[in-house]
A and B are shown apart, each in its own frame.
Chain A
Amino acid sequence: MLEIKNLHVEIDGKKILRGLDLSIGSGEVHAIMGPNGSGKSTLAYVLAGKDDYEVTGGDILFEGESILEMEPAERAAKGVFLAFQYPVEIPGVAGMTFLKAALNAQRKARGEAELTTPDFIRRVRQAADLLQMDQEMLRRPVNTGFSGGEKKRNEILQMALLEPKLCILDETDSGLDIDALRIVSEGVNALRSPARSTLVITHYQRLLNYIVPDKVHVMSAGRIVRTGGKELALELEARGYADYAADAA
């Protein structure tokens, strides 16, 4: 599904990713853990196509095809979805308008017909139910005035609605209380399928009790420095990132 080869990324001339390799197969859930500043969000943004970043080396293959030259919207239509660490507030654009624009734009890009309004409403209701979100919130402007937890739920709601092939969750657990964490995790788990891969970026092991990964990677200074099974997360929880931070220097 996703193959990242020797990826080098800079921002304003500052090297952030330094030869990152990562391969995620169909249906797999991988976790990336690592200290603050190790480049986790950078990786997430580069996958989604944010153009502040300069890819200076390596490649990203999605379903065997390089996506480096693709616009973010094109990547999204192909099935790449990023749940933002800091979801953006969009004053003045109603949630429903945003969701409809997104869903129909992706459908159009794939050569599918626009959804009828009842069909759209039904899908939104399903997604809202899954995340236990009041539909009233979706009539309000996107994320505007939402609490941290509400914003994160709204990200996963969008994910459920858009049904991507590759889900990238960037610190979706931060800002969630324990109940919200459970709801969001259940939402993510409900979307697990053999045709869908997930990359969970987190700072804490806690989330991985709910979303159990097939593999755990440790990232430090822009590289994957260690890969293991889900037990690696527990080890990190116990020992911290100190070993890897030293490694990075």
Chain B
Amino acid sequence: MSAEPRVLRTDAETALIAAYEGARDTLPGNAEVQGLRAEAFARFRASGLPHRRVEEWKYTDLRALLREVPPLAARLSEKDAAAALALAPDRLGGLERYRLILVDGHFMPGLSDLGPLLLEGVEVEGAGLLFASQSAGKVVMTLPDIARTDAAVSLNTALAGDGVAIVVRPGVQLSRPLEILHVSTGVEASAFTRDALIVGAGAALRVVEVHVGRDGVIGHANSLAYVDVGADARLDWSKLQAAGDRASHLGSLVATVGAGARFNHLTVTAGASLSRSQSFVTIAGEGAEINLNGATMIGGDQHADVTLVLNHAKPGSRSRVLFKNVADGSADGVFQGKIIVAQEAQKTDGKMMAKQLLLSDDAAFVSKPELEIYADDVQCGHGSTSGRIDEAMLFYFLSRGIPRPDAERLLLQAFLADAVEAIGDEEVGAALEGVIEDWLSRRAPAEKAQ
């Protein structure tokens, strides 16, 4: 075999190259940032989209699965963006929160609650300014080693044109959850966004990252959230991926957690035909507490991947990972969770659990929890179970007169809600349980008919 470079490109690869070449000169960022973009893009150009022989992407072969990448989305006028926003479903229902709005990947300050946030000590600006700023631009574009060279991350570094940059002053306790809403409108377009959140020491806030879009529209989104949780701070970050049914979604979280800080993360995955939500979390100080949770519910021919890399780089931290996944129809799910415990990270206490329920014969879910331990004085464990809804439990419901669809709905609700409850926030939890209920009631419409 000769070692000549692969020249055959998929349509998606060709489109990504065209997108970068077309936007290169107008993407925001200082010279250093542009250099990082070029470097990241060169990585992509050399290797193409990841495929099944790339270990981290083995179960989500983007070369085969990612069919179309439409052109980069244009920025809508604020008026048009407001109209598009009004049409987008509010997946968080009555949750009282502050909102930051991005439409087709463009931050809409005029539609966002900047004033009240500033009054509470939270500064927000467009990521364009961040990319241009001297030191911060480099930081949010460089990223830790465990994330930097990942394919989706590299594409994001190359192409991220906007996003929100949020700075929470030390000690601030934000009174309401902060929603970062990514809306894609009806156009066939791609959006590359990078959001950044810096949480000052001792501050506490709740963030809900929401991705929504119209069904039937081919769209592509590649979003990345750069998160820095300061010492003794507390951040609860929930992500709801409810993209349209023909969209593809590649979302990354790159978080660094300081000493004594507490970081709770929850990923709720329901939308998109193809999605991957990946989290790269580094514990960079002693005595942090990390909870990474998720609920995935997919059906039809959806493919959804949740991948975690949790790096215990410092001693004495505790991590809990709990994922609850259900797959119906002929959907394919993937859960990959890797906990790394560095040699220095003695007294690490880490547990990871993934549970899957398959709701049909054609559905499949690959679950791969992994531990990579270099320290000797640690308490770590992981487990994974996959199966069907428990027949004995079902029969108990049936025997009490509860028809099968209702019985399944109640059992699945309980199963999935477990992961949502683990974030320990009743308000956000109730909103996200509403999303689960909604998915479950759409799954079995027959029993809804009166």
- CB of A77 closer than 8 Å to a CB of B: yes
Contact check: which of A73, A91, A97 meets B401 at CB < 8 Å? A73
- CB of B129 closer than 8 Å to a CB of A: no
Q: Is the CB of B395 within 8 A of A98?
A: no
Contact check: which of A73, A87, A92 meets B402 at CB < 8 Å? A73
Known: A73-B401, A92-B415. A105 touches B396 (CB 8 A): no
Q: Is the CB of B403 within 8 A of A73?
A: yes
- Interface range for A: 20 to 34
Contact check: which of A76, A91, A93 meets B399 at CB < 8 Å? A76
Q: Is the CB of B398 within 8 A of A49?
A: yes
Residues of A within 8 A of B403 (CB): 71, 73, 105
Q: Is the CB of A49 within 8 A of B399?
A: yes
Nearest Cβ in chain A — how far from B254, in angstroms?
Answer: 33
Q: Is the CB of B401 within 8 A of A106?
A: yes
What 1/0 flags go to A195-229 for Cβ under 8 Å of B?
A: 00000000000000000000000000000000000
Contact check: which of A76, A92, A141 meets B400 at CB < 8 Å? A76
- CB of B393 closer than 8 Å to a CB of A: yes
Nearest Cβ in chain A — how far from B405, in angstroms?
Answer: 10
Q: Is the CB of A93 within 8 A of B404?
A: no
- CB of B417 closer than 8 Å to a CB of A: yes
Q: How far is the CA of A106 from the CA of B402 in the complex (A)?
A: 7
Q: How far is the CA of A211 from the CA of B86 in the complex (A)?
A: 65
Q: How far is the CA of A64 from the CA of B6 in the complex (A)?
A: 76
Q: Is the CB of A91 within 8 A of B414?
A: yes
Closest residue to B390 on the A side, CB-wise? A88
Q: Is the CB of B398 within 8 A of A71?
A: yes
Q: How far is the CA of A81 from the CA of B395 in the complex (A)?
A: 12
Q: Is the CB of A87 within 8 A of B400?
A: no
Residues of A within 8 A of B401 (CB): 73, 76-77, 102, 105-106, 109, 162
Known: A73-B404, A88-B392, A90-B393. A82 touches B399 (CB 8 A): yes
Nearest Cβ in chain A — how far from B354, in angstroms?
Answer: 17
- CB of B113 closer than 8 Å to a CB of A: no
Residues of B within 8 A of A158 (CB): 400
Closest residue to A82 on the B side, CB-wise? B399
Nearest Cβ in chain B — how far from A141, in angstroms?
Answer: 8
Near A by CB (< 8 A), chain B positions 409-450 give 410-411, 413-415, 417-418
Task: Name the 8 nearest CB pairs between A and B, nearest first.
Answer: A92-B414, A76-B401, A102-B400, A72-B398, A106-B401, A88-B396, A73-B403, A105-B402
Chain A residues in the interface with B (C-beta under 8 A) = 48-50, 71-73, 76-77, 81-82, 84, 87-88, 90-93, 97-98, 101-102, 105-106, 109, 141-142, 158, 162
14 contacts between A and B (CB under 8 A): A49-B399, A73-B401, A88-B395, A92-B411, A92-B415, A92-B417, A93-B411, A97-B410, A98-B397, A101-B402, A105-B400, A105-B402, A105-B403, A105-B406
Query: A72-B398, A90-B397 provided; 13 other pairs, C-beta below 8 A?
Result: A49-B398, A73-B398, A73-B399, A73-B401, A82-B399, A88-B395, A90-B393, A90-B411, A92-B415, A92-B417, A97-B410, A101-B397, A101-B402
